[in-house]
Structure 1
Amino acid sequence: MTQDAASIRVLSPRLANQIAAGEVVERPASVLKELLENALDAGADQIDVEVEAGGVKLLRVRDNGSGIQEGDLPLALARHATSKIATLDDLEGVASLGFRGEALASISSVSRLELLTSTDASGKGWRVVAEGREMQPQVTPAPHPQGTSLVVRDLFFNTPARRKFLRTERTEFSHLEEVFRRLALSRQDVAFSLRHQGKQIHQLPAVESKEAPEQVSRRIGQLLGRDFLEQSLTIDAVASGISLKGWVGLPVYARAQADRQYFFVNGRVVRDRLVAHAIRQAYQDVLYSGRHPVFVLWLDVDPNIVDVNVHPTKHEVRFRDGRWVHDFIFSSLHKRLGAALLGAEKQAPETEAMPDPASPLSGVSQAGVGQGTAVGLASTSPVEQTPLSWQTAGSGSRQPGSAKVAESLAFYEKLAQSLPEPAAASGSQNEMPPLGYALAQLQGIYILAQNAKGLVVVDMHAAHERITYERLKQDWTRRPLAAQPLLVPETLGLDEELVEVAGQHQALLADLGIQLEPLGPQEMVLRSLPVLLQGARGPDLVFELLQELKRYGTSRSLEASINEVLASIACHGSVRAGRQLNLPEMNALLRDMEATERSDQCNHGRPTWFQLSMQDLDKMFLRGR
């Protein structure tokens, strides 16, 4: 290496901006994100996007916002120049979408960028471009309506290495459309349009008021499809200055990919690990393996308790009290998904009570079924009156016995005696329960029932499995978790942070039946586990639990392990295929489903029933044609 090559030099403005562009300009979609955010920050209520060749050849964004003053135009394309923050205090409570002052400078360094703007309705405006090695701005008069237009042509024309990594036009446009969709969901009070190759793709009028649910639903349907609305529940939870609103998909509507998940913090699109963890846990007990829930959720918090300046693309945020936010999101969704959906209105708003922030374990010691099983006719069953029996283990500890779970079948015949006769109750559709009344049993597997809408088909094993499982969880969580001493204590190698976490939560771990003792700065000895988890790999379980306590201040890994055991017991103890039930027993099972949380899915996330409306049946038989 020569002396000249090794010397330190100042990078040219264009090269410095191109390096910065590597962080924020990945493809046309990233360019659109920055331009749309600038338009929204300028107060626009109408934004039009025009694209050619997937955004590589042309990407034009026009807004009717405040525009840029003539005197500010020389700095409009300069790096680290912004009107959105001036002090550190501004940064700590920033409410605008953009604030770094790097986007336009970075984009102009890897494309042919042109900015046209006007601050009034006179039609007089200005045009600015940055040209040459030093990227000196050139400002000239140009007619333009009030607002700003950004025109980006030939993306990566001067960085061929970057351009060759772009995908096909169709792929790039799909990424670009997804960015458009996210921003259009985040700001429903703004009208958006999108054209590609001269063809209108989206035309979205502004929602006049958030209090107009039909307008909000219309935009959701335009962007995500009507089926999303039909297969989702609304949520409206508020507590202590924080609110969570939006739609959460039913578990049966989950997808193979996580491509319909939209979460907004104060209107900003985020993909945050803490948020993802809370949502994943809320769906844990009802989602089929390998599937991903769908949701559109808006979280509104005080800007001063959330830091958005933790990632160049601003996709991640950091909450001042992440555990509190995590628990609020989890408990809100857990309650909404756990409601007896069969009889609940999908559009019913709710006000969520916050969990006790002093308890790091959100679940095991606080009723593992969330807010408690819904109370209905099923509460008169012998299973509710007499808790499930407990077998005595060799150690003298108590654990649920699968041999007694099958006794729960006997209550259906007794429960049926307290129910009204189907013929008497079926005179009015308004009096008919959600799942109606049984008509027959098919092949010893399915219950066929008639309700106000038409035909209901129930998988009786899957339904009873969920009922048994929820009762097992409720019965188990009423008791402290008994500890089972290990015959051979196991030594765990942990880093100092995890050892410290274990010390901080020693009382909690003891309540869970886990006895951990320090051996050194990076070693602990495991002496006991919960009785129900005999045979489990203790070190793996404890390590995962401590990691969750460290990251989120809460853990549900132990509860999940216990629930797996209870689910297995429920599966083996529930009514099997081929078991013949009479009509009163079938009706009793239907009533029990209506009064049980999460009864729409079995323990493995599969549906327990489905509805065929009269219109569906008429279509099958071509009636009315």
Structure 2
Amino acid sequence: MALANPNMDRPRPVIRQLDEGAINRIAAGEVVERPASAVKELVENAIDAGATRIEVTIAEGGKRLIRVVDDGCGMTAEDLPLALSRHATSKIDGTDLLAISTFGFRGEALPSLGAVGRLTIVSRVEGGEAAEIAVAGGRVSAVRPAALSCGTRVELRDLFHATPARLKFLRTDRAEAQAIAETIRRLALAEPFIGFTLVDATEEPARTVFRADARSGDLFDALHGRAAQVLGGPFAENAVPLDAVREDHHLSGFAALPTYSRGSAVQQYLFVNGRPVTDKLLIGALRGAYADTLPRDRHPAAVVFVDCDPKLVDVNVHPAKSQVRFRDPGLVRGLIVSGIRHALAGAGHRTSSTVASATLSAVHAEPVSGRVYQMDRAYPSPRPSFQAPPGFAETAAPSVRAEPVQAEERARGDHPLGSARAQLHGTYIVAQTGDGVVIVDQHAAHERLVYEKLKRQMAETGVAAQALLIPEIVELSGTDAELLLSHAEDLHRMGLAVEPFGGGAVAVRETPAILGPVDAAALVRDILDELSDLGDSGTLGARLDAILSRVACHGSVRAGRHMRAEEMDALLREMEATPLSGQCNHGRPTYVELKLADIERLFGRA
């Protein structure tokens, strides 16, 4: 028995025009996703109005109250009803949607907010009278006189009271308040010459959650000061300035040193023509810029601005205006990657100051229960004497030239990384500087030096190779052998010559000369691990750099090897001359610097 078609008895759908209230509520669903979205729209309106001070007050995560007060140009009584009309704006005239130089331009925010909450606007222009208008659930009141100094006050109460189903999708008051604070921080970074204040009035007395006073000076100084206010002093202290230009695109901002990396992408702020964005292209470019200085589970910290002609970027991609589309995305990505890498290379051997702070915090002085005089201290008898590590009789590591260093020159300690004084546990070099002590991880430091040399050789002429007297045969699985041989041409440019030897075996005939004697089998397996991790992701250049990083590890001074004073000093001097030597290829710091004043405080001598 055939089943009846359930659509046979359904009435024919009728096309009808939606009323204005339904249209506004639908539009609000795109523009106002959560309280933070409402704050973003209102603060951007204040910025576009030329405000120099903006104060935001919220209650219950913005669900009960959002109030934005600014000292901008204001609106007249005649402007207020028009401001609540859809697609009414003072920011564009509609002739060219690509020449957009303001935050807002759609004319949707205020009518959308009025459709889902109780909205009141009070505004006054200079030399005019203040006026007030209110809208609740889409119903607009008449304009009436009010009291206000120049500027605008927008108050939104009971967000989503007209669409209660949306309330179920909001998070806790605390989570929504944090999202609002993050929105304010992003806008504060975008506009360092404007003062921002965020107040939480959920409980009495109200408390100031965030405050950033307007900065002065040139743009770089203002942005640096604002970055310290928003991201904290450690970021500002460990960030290098960005300033690069490529074909009418300008890159500016600050990028933190790789050793100041974070466990998540919480300190990545990206702006296009001053507009905060969360664009995948820019995020990927930022990650690519740090590709050979950070492990995969760490994230860089940066405040990056890309400025260009508005006609070269489309910001009219999404109602939230958080995504953009560049006319030449490859050019922008290349600008970010090269600009940040150049800035980090210019930082030389610097490492994050937070490394020293973490070291000091890990050192705990023993509590002293009363004064102990020198004569009362007990010493073993006989007292042990300090012995420096024995000299290493073999030749120096492949890329550390042990040049003779005069004793008086080592005693001065006038180099940035000081002069070597001792080697501890065959792993750490202790050097004395003019005002402190430097502790160097010899393997991590030398690994970076070898890696940078390999990259330089690769770019210039290809890595020099040394032929093995007897090729080394490495047994692999069939899959691994196929993967390795598929990259044989690239590996040969790196100084590693491999060829099939039957079955799953490969023959290694040449190895990079800079590595000296090397375990070819271990090197091949490490390269296979890197190829498996990378898969097909990343550009060819990124894959080659990742493999070179693995290769560099095999040519570095190993932990446990004793070094002569001349070798240690040669390593320190080479670190000072090598870009990015403050961190190894995996993002770990290569040295820790402790100031003498900090050490004295540990011993109560300050």
TM-score, normalized by length of structure 1?
0.75
Q: Map Cα deviations across residues 338-366 of structure 1 (whole Å, 9 max, x no partner).
A: 335227999xxxxxxxxxxxxxxxxxxxx
SS at match of 1:203: strand
**Is 1:573 matched with 2:555?**
yes
Q: CA deviation at 1:114?
A: 0.7
SS at match of 1:441: strand
**Is 1:128 matched with 2:116?**
no
CA distance in 1: counterparts of 2:130 and 2:10, whole angstroms: 50
**Is 1:329 matched with 2:314?**
no
Q: CA deviation at 1:297?
A: 1.9
CA distance in 1: counterparts of 2:136 and 2:352, whole angstroms: 60
Q: CA deviation at 1:220?
A: 2.0
CA contact (8 A) 1:481 1:512 kept: no
CA contact (8 A) 2:181 2:210 kept: no
SS at match of 1:155: coil
CA distance in 2: counterparts of 1:331 and 1:192, whole angstroms: 33
Out of 308, 312, 317, the residue aligned to residue 324 of structure 2 is 317
The residue that corresponds to 1:261 in the other structure is: 268
Change (3 A) 1:410 1:131: closer
Q: 1:564 is aligned with what amino acid?
A: A
TM-score, normalized by length of structure 2?
0.77
Matched ranges for 1:384-395 at <5 A:
none
The residue that corresponds to 1:471 in the other structure is: 453
Q: 2:571 is aligned with what amino acid?
A: L
Change (3 A) 1:614 1:416: same
CA contact (8 A) 2:350 2:582 kept: no
CA distance in 1: counterparts of 2:463 and 2:349, whole angstroms: 32
Q: 1:438 is aligned with what amino acid?
A: A
Q: Which 10-residue stretch deviates more, 70-79 or 578-587?
A: 70-79
Q: CA deviation at 1:614?
A: 1.3
The residue that corresponds to 1:351 in the other structure is: none
SS at match of 2:75: coil
Matched ranges for 1:17-28 at <5 A:
17-28=24-35
CA distance in 2: counterparts of 1:618 and 1:79, whole angstroms: 67
The residue that corresponds to 1:281 in the other structure is: 288
The residue that corresponds to 1:204 in the other structure is: 212
Q: Map Cα deviations across residues 536-569 of structure 1 (whole Å, 9 max, x no partner).
A: 7999999947xxxxxxxxxx62223223332222
Q: CA deviation at 1:98?
A: 0.4
The residue that corresponds to 2:516 in the other structure is: none
CA distance in 2: counterparts of 1:540 and 1:572, whole angstroms: 19
Q: 2:214 is aligned with what amino acid?
A: A
SS at match of 1:435: coil
Aligned length: 505
Q: 2:403 is aligned with what amino acid?
A: A
CA contact (8 A) 1:444 1:580 kept: yes
Out of 142, 145, 153, the residue aligned to residue 138 of structure 1 is 142
Out of 238, 241, 246, the residue aligned to residue 234 of structure 1 is 241
Q: Which 10-residue stretch deviates more, 64-73 or 97-106?
A: 64-73
Change (3 A) 1:3 1:121: farther
The residue that corresponds to 1:416 in the other structure is: 403
The residue that corresponds to 1:160 in the other structure is: 164
Task: Extract unaligned runs of 5+ from structure 1.
Answer: 347-405, 483-487, 489-509, 515-530, 546-555
CA distance in 2: counterparts of 1:131 and 1:200, whole angstroms: 29
CA contact (8 A) 2:530 2:550 kept: no
Q: Which 10-residue stretch deviates more, 322-331 or 198-207?
A: 198-207
CA contact (8 A) 2:271 2:304 kept: yes
CA contact (8 A) 1:480 1:512 kept: no
Q: 1:128 is aligned with what amino acid?
A: I
Change (3 A) 1:474 1:410: closer
Q: Map Cα deviations across residues 175-228 of structure 1 (whole Å, 9 max, x no partner).
A: 000001111110011111111121122332212332572x54333222111111
Change (3 A) 1:3 1:600: same
SS at match of 1:70: coil
CA contact (8 A) 1:541 1:558 kept: no
CA distance in 2: counterparts of 1:577 and 1:476, whole angstroms: 27
The residue that corresponds to 2:594 in the other structure is: 612
Out of 100, 109, 119, the residue aligned to residue 113 of structure 1 is 119
Q: CA deviation at 1:155?
A: 0.9
Change (3 A) 1:411 1:254: closer
Q: Map Cα deviations across residues 261-294 of structure 1 (whole Å, 9 max, x no partner).
A: 1111111101112211221111000012211111
**Is 1:95 matched with 2:101?**
yes
CA contact (8 A) 1:481 1:511 kept: no
CA distance in 1: counterparts of 2:436 and 2:269, whole angstroms: 34
Q: CA deviation at 1:251?
A: 1.0
SS at match of 2:68: strand
SS at match of 2:142: strand
Out of 567, 583, 601, the residue aligned to residue 585 of structure 1 is 567
CA distance in 1: counterparts of 2:251 and 2:541, whole angstroms: 25
Q: CA deviation at 1:336?
A: 1.3
CA distance in 2: counterparts of 1:79 and 1:187, whole angstroms: 27
Change (3 A) 1:473 1:204: closer
Change (3 A) 1:211 1:157: closer
SS at match of 1:612: strand
**Is 1:186 matched with 2:194?**
no
What percent of counterpart residues are identical?
43
CA root-mean-square deviation: 3.2
Q: CA deviation at 1:410?
A: 5.1
SS at match of 1:192: strand
Matched ranges for 1:57-96 at <5 A:
57-89=64-96, 91-96=97-102
CA distance in 2: counterparts of 1:622 and 1:537, whole angstroms: 49
The residue that corresponds to 1:594 in the other structure is: 576
Change (3 A) 1:471 1:226: same
Q: Which 10-residue stretch deviates more, 250-259 or 295-304?
A: 295-304
Task: Extract unaligned runs of 5+ from structure 2.
Answer: 1-6, 354-393, 465-477, 479-488, 494-509, 512-523
Q: CA deviation at 1:437?
A: 0.4
**Is 1:444 matched with 2:448?**
no
**Is 1:342 matched with 2:327?**
no
CA contact (8 A) 2:130 2:148 kept: yes
Q: 1:206 is aligned with what amino acid?
A: A
Q: 2:588 is aligned with what amino acid?
A: R
The residue that corresponds to 1:525 in the other structure is: none
The residue that corresponds to 2:505 in the other structure is: none
Q: CA deviation at 1:333?
A: 0.5
CA distance in 2: counterparts of 1:147 and 1:106, whole angstroms: 22
Change (3 A) 1:179 1:9: same
Q: Which 10-residue stretch deviates more, 49-58 or 596-605?
A: 596-605
Change (3 A) 1:236 1:544: same
Q: CA deviation at 1:94?
A: 0.4
Change (3 A) 1:137 1:234: same
**Is 1:623 matched with 2:570?**
no
